Chains A and B, each alone.
Chain A
Amino acid sequence: MPRYELALILKQMQRPETAAALRRTVETLMERGALVRDLENLGERQLPYRMTKHNQRHSRGTYFLVDFYAAPSMLSSVMDHLHRDVDVVRPTVLKKDAQVPNSNCCGPQKPLLGKTVLHQNR
């Protein structure tokens, strides 16, 4: 089970530079003893609002999701490193919880694949 999830937003760059930034990030994690489990690319899209980072105003970015197992003590040093990286617009680390079984809620939980939309049953 992944313990942490890093939602990374990288600056709008060319493909080799994006690859280099990703490589740097994953190497940082592995240097500090993390075990990277999964790396997902959520695509390059327009940011929901303009973000200012490193004296630059960003309106487009590439979204990545890194699942990794790590010790809690090394998270602060990883975040420090990511904030100092010029190519990273916004790094966020979240704890990944196991799904809580719903006993009182009305039915079993089914995960939604990708982005789906609910239709009203009336």
Chain B
Amino acid sequence: MLCLRELQRWKPVLCRYGNTGVRSFAVAADEAGRTEGGLVNMENPYREPQKGCVLCDVTVDFKNIQLLSQFISPHTGRIYGRHITGLCGRKQKEVSKAIKKAQSMGFMSVTHKHPQFMKDPNICGIKHLD
């Protein structure tokens, strides 16, 4: 009987849209956020926390050449693009600017990666044929 009453309430909505694939069931909610049927208005409980990039809580400095060398090619010294490093926009810009600054100030080499930093772990998603 309860179902019949609900169907009668939804009937005008169904008639208006016809037999479409998408049906929006707008259910009336009371003040406590509960509706008939036991649904509670809350945010998605299965929502995963937003993932950040690798450098999200790390300050990028031109003096820290070991960190900056992780984002350049070991063979040519070129700065990797965003699709390889996987950094967010802001951090990619900061790293890129810091590398150029370090190179012009005489802290970091332009054409190659310092041999001392060759054994560092590979953050960027690029595999070299060694």
Contacts and interface: CB of A to CB of B under 8 A. Distances in A.
A106 B51 CA distance: 7
A42 B63 CA distance: 9
B122 interface: yes
B105 A90 contact: yes
B121 A117 contact: yes
Contacts of A47: 106
Interface residues of B, number: 35
B56 interface: yes
Interface of B: 50-59, 61, 63-67, 70, 88, 90-91, 101, 103-111, 114, 120-123
Given A117-B120, A117-B121, A105 B56 contact: yes
Contacts of A94: 101
A14 interface: no
Q: Which of A112, A116, A119 has the most CB of B within 10 A?
A: A112
Interface of A: 7, 9, 42, 47-49, 51, 61, 63, 65, 89-90, 92, 94, 99, 102, 104-112, 115-121
B56 A120 contact: no
Contacts of A106: 50-53, 56-57, 88
Contact of A92 (B57, B67, B105): B105
B64 A112 contact: yes
